[in-house]
Chains A and B, each alone.
Chain A
Amino acid sequence: MANVKYVSATRVYAKDAPPAVDALDLDIKDGEFMVLVGPSGSGKTTALRMLAGLEPLDGGRVEIGEKDVTFVPPKDRDIAMVFQNYALYPSKTVAENMGFALKMQGVPKEERARRVREAARLLDLDDTMLDRKPKALSGGQRQRVAMGRAIVREPRVFLMDEPLSNLDAKLRVQTRSQIAELQRRLGITTVYVTHDQVEAMTMGNRVAVLAGGHLQQCDTPRQLYDNPVNQFVAGFIGSPAMNLQTVPLTEGGARLAGTVIPLPTAVRTAASQAGLREIVLGIRPEHLHLANGSGPVTGEVMLVEELGADALLHVRLAEDHNLVVARTEGRKPPAPGQQVTFNVQPDDVFAFHPETGARLAG
């Protein structure tokens, strides 16, 4: 059990290139499930590898359990990692794979076998599987063996690098909840890397959103969704993504599709203080409420995506001719080509600085 701390941790791959991870500060509590999420190239995997000791630091430090481990070799950090492609040893049986780290630590054979069996039980790997080679296992089973290899060690920290990305969609959802449940049961601090924001939202106690090597925001999934600090987080978290439009400011609000969306005073003040004439307006798809011809925001339905419970409307707005996505009840969605109108609650609207992307007076 241990907490993990990044203190201005920096990694530069090439001399003239921008840092892959730039002065990352992150405090992960003991027993917490922390998800690092971001698009490719955001530095999330590099950050994880820095914690693993597979990537040296060019600045700052990494701490595990209040101890500076920046220069501690990986094997002495008391961590276990699950790799994206599992990285199982093909020539060893499942049991040997899972017990390899213990063997390296000099744990006696009986003790090793006991702990391997225990971990296998935890993961629903039956005993017959323990003598097989990884080649003879399905993708899902291999994934569980990789998890088992980490669990057997009883480490202070679990590191997981996109462990679900090689599974098919159904198995991924299933395994997602199993991992989250297992982590809660074991109570071991976990750092989990993914590019999938749904995974991040459903699994993490807290989620750290990274982009371009910088930490954008670290908070609970709820807070990230409700209070994104900038345009990037707002657009990245949530599916379908938030509608983001650059719109001109007017007296009392912002002009969208020929109508004025009222903005809170605080936002207007912030915008005028920054000397802005336009802002980026953000509206989540579920906050565009379909109104039977009486709403202020009008547009034409271009495409309807039926999801069963909901339907997603791709709507071309009047005047601006921008496309937005609206989530509506799935039973009777409007047909493509139909004119629709929406109501928007002023409280549901986000405003961002068009250049810096920062949230205006959130």
Chain B
Amino acid sequence: MTAIPVRDHEPAALRLRRMSGQVGWGVLAWVVGIAFFLPVLWMVITAFKPESAAQTWPPKFVFSPTLAQFRLVFSGWGPFVTHSLIATTVSTVLVLLLGVPGAYALSVHPVPHWRDGLFFFISTKMLPIVAAIGPLYVIALKTHLLDSIWVLIILYTAMNLPLAIWLIRSFMLEVPKEMLEAAELDGAGRIREIGEVILPVISPGLVSTALICVIFAWNELFLALNLTVTNAATMPMFLISSVPQEGLYLAHLSAAATVASVPVILVGWIAQRSLVRGLSMGAIK
């Protein structure tokens, strides 16, 4: 640290302006962050309150915390969380299994009319799901899939597949062309090309795609509410069932919502590095 003298007497006015600018942005970021976080915090705090304390206004911040609501939640959540886990995991695995070859056929070696295919996939997301629920109900009824976990697996797969194909395709387009040609010259067939060359390169992207599918499937309520009753009811339905016809329920609902959010937050937190890497894959060259 001898070569270049550090400029240690930055004009005071300039420094003040620079510092105040930084502080201003910092404060704004914190305000926005807290504004987003506040309802979550309120939910978590309420979950630890006794039911009577949860109803007061203005909210009390001094109370004797209790785990009673959580005990209640854990006594009843068993089937719901099992259904959610099955529907989410199986549908996400199916989405990846179908999405990878689908995206491959639309990017690396595009099939004829690949544009139409791509548009068709995304167009399925344009229809409001409410419009389709009638036919879906009838189909589920006739195929005896009503209130079965399979109806959710199939629909969650169908729901997430278009988005997954779009995402995975954009990751595949980032794979250098020369690398694929090298694999072709090296004698790798289609399966090896995907498995040994493309997938390792796009794995951060796959992780983030899977994560998004998990979040969407885990939080899905509308289809579950309309097509299942008890045999396949998922966590969001558990939340609804936490609301009784009469009596106090805010603390109980908060505890149930907290429990329902934990898996998604946990998965997101664990995968955040690869999520950021995956979603910004195309951005950084």
Binding site for B on A (CB under 8 A): 52-54, 74-75, 79-81, 83-85, 87-92, 100-101, 104-105, 149
Inter-chain contact A101/B184, CB cutoff 8 Å: no
List 11 A–B pairs whose Cβ atoms lie within 8 Å, in order of A's numbering.
Answer: A53-B185, A75-B185, A83-B181, A85-B178, A87-B182, A89-B182, A91-B200, A92-B196, A92-B200, A100-B196, A101-B186
- Bound CA–CA A100/B182 (angstroms): 10
Binding site for A on B (CB under 8 A): 176, 178-179, 181-188, 192, 196-197, 200-201, 203
Q: Specify which chain A residues have a CB less than 8 angstroms from the CB of B184 in the assembled complex.
A: 54, 74-75
Nearest-Cβ distance from residue B73 to partner chain A, whole angstroms:
43
Q: Specify which chain A residues have a CB less than 8 angstroms from the CB of B197 in the assembled complex.
A: 89
- Bound CA–CA A317/B179 (angstroms): 52
Residue of A nearest to B176 (CB): A87
- Bound CA–CA A44/B1 (angstroms): 51
Q: Specify which chain A residues have a CB less than 8 angstroms from the CB of B203 in the assembled complex.
A: 91
Q: Specify which chain A residues have a CB less than 8 angstroms from the CB of B186 in the assembled complex.
A: 75, 100-101, 104, 149
Q: Specify which chain B residues have a CB less than 8 angstroms from the CB of A81 in the assembled complex.
A: 181-182, 185
Q: Tell me if B's interface is mostly helix, strand, loop or mixed.
A: helix
Q: Specify which chain A residues have a CB less than 8 angstroms from the CB of B181 in the assembled complex.
A: 52, 54, 74, 81, 83, 87
Nearest-Cβ distance from residue B172 to partner chain A, whole angstroms:
15
Nearest-Cβ distance from residue B29 to partner chain A, whole angstroms:
33
Residue of A nearest to B192 (CB): A104
- Bound CA–CA A81/B185 (angstroms): 8
Q: Which of B176, B178, B186, B200 counts the most A-chain CB atoms under 10 A from its CB?
A: B186
Q: Specify which chain B residues have a CB less than 8 angstroms from the CB of A84 in the assembled complex.
A: 178
Residue of B nearest to A99 (CB): B186
Nearest-Cβ distance from residue A69 to partner chain B, whole angstroms:
13
Inter-chain contact A75/B187, CB cutoff 8 Å: yes
- Bound CA–CA A52/B187 (angstroms): 12
Inter-chain contact A89/B179, CB cutoff 8 Å: yes
Q: Which of B181, B182, B200 counts the most A-chain CB atoms under 10 A from its CB?
A: B182
- Bound CA–CA A135/B132 (angstroms): 49
- Bound CA–CA A74/B181 (angstroms): 9
Residue of A nearest to B181 (CB): A54
Nearest-Cβ distance from residue A158 to partner chain B, whole angstroms:
12
Q: Specify which chain B residues have a CB less than 8 angstroms from the CB of A83 in the assembled complex.
A: 178, 181-182
**With contacts A79-B185, A104-B186 known, what are 9 further pairs, Cβ within 8 A?**
A75-B185, A81-B182, A87-B176, A88-B182, A90-B200, A100-B183, A100-B188, A100-B196, A104-B188
Q: Which of A80, A84, A104, A105 counts the most B-chain CB atoms under 10 A from its CB?
A: A104
- Bound CA–CA A89/B184 (angstroms): 13
Residue of B nearest to A75 (CB): B187
Q: Specify which chain A residues have a CB less than 8 angstroms from the CB of B200 in the assembled complex.
A: 89-92
Inter-chain contact B187/A101, CB cutoff 8 Å: yes
- Bound CA–CA A53/B186 (angstroms): 12
- Bound CA–CA A90/B200 (angstroms): 8
Q: Specify which chain A residues have a CB less than 8 angstroms from the CB of B176 in the assembled complex.
A: 85, 87
Nearest-Cβ distance from residue A143 to partner chain B, whole angstroms:
14
Nearest-Cβ distance from residue B197 to partner chain A, whole angstroms:
6
Nearest-Cβ distance from residue B14 to partner chain A, whole angstroms:
40
Nearest-Cβ distance from residue A117 to partner chain B, whole angstroms:
19
Nearest-Cβ distance from residue A144 to partner chain B, whole angstroms:
16
Q: Specify which chain A residues have a CB less than 8 angstroms from the CB of B182 in the assembled complex.
A: 81, 83, 87-89, 149
| 3 A-B pairs closest in CB distance | A91-B200, A104-B187, A87-B178
Nearest-Cβ distance from residue A348 to partner chain B, whole angstroms:
44
